[in-house]
Chain A
Amino acid sequence: MKTERFEVYGGTMVIHLGEDLDHHNAVYIREMADGYVDKYPIDRIIFDFSGVEFMDSSGIGVVMGRYKQMSYVGGAVYVYGIGKNVDRIFQMSGLYKLVKQWNQAEVE
């Protein structure tokens, strides 16, 4: 079972999400992410969805919460690796309006 991994490079935090993004895991991800945001001057959060097989409304809260934090400091939230199931949830909830697609070539 894949679990979450967090990486911080300067002002960028990459959150490699685990297999399930439900309420149970959302609480953990939020606590970890908030810990890093408090500690480092992060203004860019990149969510790696490539390992996610299941996401429900709890995942929307995780992404929206990070989006609000990043907006507050003038930063942004990026996503990549979104599969079919997660894509439907993103479409239906309008999350694509808040996040950008992570594309290394474009950004760097």
Chain B
Amino acid sequence: MRRSSTNICEISFPALSENESFARMAVSAFVMPGNPTLEELSDIKTAISEAVTNAILHGYNQDGIGKVHMRFEREEDSFTFMVWDEGVGIENVEQAMEPLYTSRPELERSGMGFSFMEAFMDSLAVESEPGKGTKVTMTKSLGTNADASVCDE
């Protein structure tokens, strides 16, 4: 049986690529008490990794100085994940969210980041202002498919 639970966690770190794995570990640790399935956990880690990588790579061009922020919220089985930066922002959000669109093909980016966030989470919202920064808000409810949980496997 799941205990009802509320929790909030905020973390900030500089735009260094080694913090991508840190972000995934942090979100895993936050979600684990909610008893996610292996697939749910993988979905969440991938979506967070995409959002954080975008902030580091596109928002701050990996300057190692700009701060990436994450805020995780839990209301029983419903989770909200926010990732934001105060970086360059996005001129045309609609275009940026199109599958395969990338502004950095020379860096071997494939333009699939937003598509994965959309596919792996229940909802995705992107707010951005050029010169001000970008904020990604994603939600996911656990237990919406009938898979066994991590603990049962």
- Interface residues of A, Cβ cutoff 8 Å to B: 20, 22-24, 26-27, 30, 54, 56-58, 60-62, 64-65, 85, 88-89, 92-93
- Count A/B pairs, Cβ under 8 Å: 60
Q: How far is the CA of A58 from the CA of B49 in the complex (A)?
A: 10
Q: Is the interface of B mostly helix, strand, loop or mixed?
A: helix
With A24-B18, A64-B110 already in contact, 11 other A-B pairs whose C-beta atoms are closer than 8 Å: A24-B17, A56-B50, A56-B113, A57-B50, A57-B116, A62-B108, A65-B108, A85-B42, A92-B112, A92-B115, A93-B110
Chain B, residues 79-119, CB within 8 Å of chain A (1/0): the string is: 00000000000000000000000000001111011011001
Q: Contact: A26 with B116, CB < 8 Å?
A: no
Q: Which residues of B contact A61 (CB under 8 A)?
A: 107-110
Closest chain A CB from B51 CB (angstroms): 10
Q: Contact: B108 with A30, CB < 8 Å?
A: yes
Contact among A22, A27, A62 with B49 in the assembled complex (CB-CB below 8 Å): A22
Q: How far is the CA of A22 from the CA of B113 in the complex (A)?
A: 12
Nearest chain A residue, comparing its CB with the CB of B24: A54
Residue among A30, A58, A92 facing the most chain B CB atoms (10 A cut-off): A58
Whether a CB of chain A sits under 8 angstroms from the CB of B138 is: no
Q: Contact: B17 with A92, CB < 8 Å?
A: no
Q: How far is the CA of A26 from the CA of B113 in the complex (A)?
A: 15
Q: Contact: B42 with A92, CB < 8 Å?
A: no
- The answer to whether A20 and B116 touch (CB under 8 A), given A54-B45, A56-B49, A65-B108, is no
Q: Contact: B112 with A57, CB < 8 Å?
A: yes
30 contacts between A and B (CB under 8 A): A22-B21, A22-B24, A22-B53, A23-B17, A23-B57, A24-B17, A24-B18, A24-B20, A24-B21, A27-B17, A30-B108, A54-B24, A54-B42, A56-B50, A56-B53, A56-B113, A56-B116, A57-B53, A57-B116, A58-B53, A58-B109, A61-B107, A61-B110, A62-B108, A64-B108, A85-B46, A88-B42, A92-B112, A92-B115, A93-B112
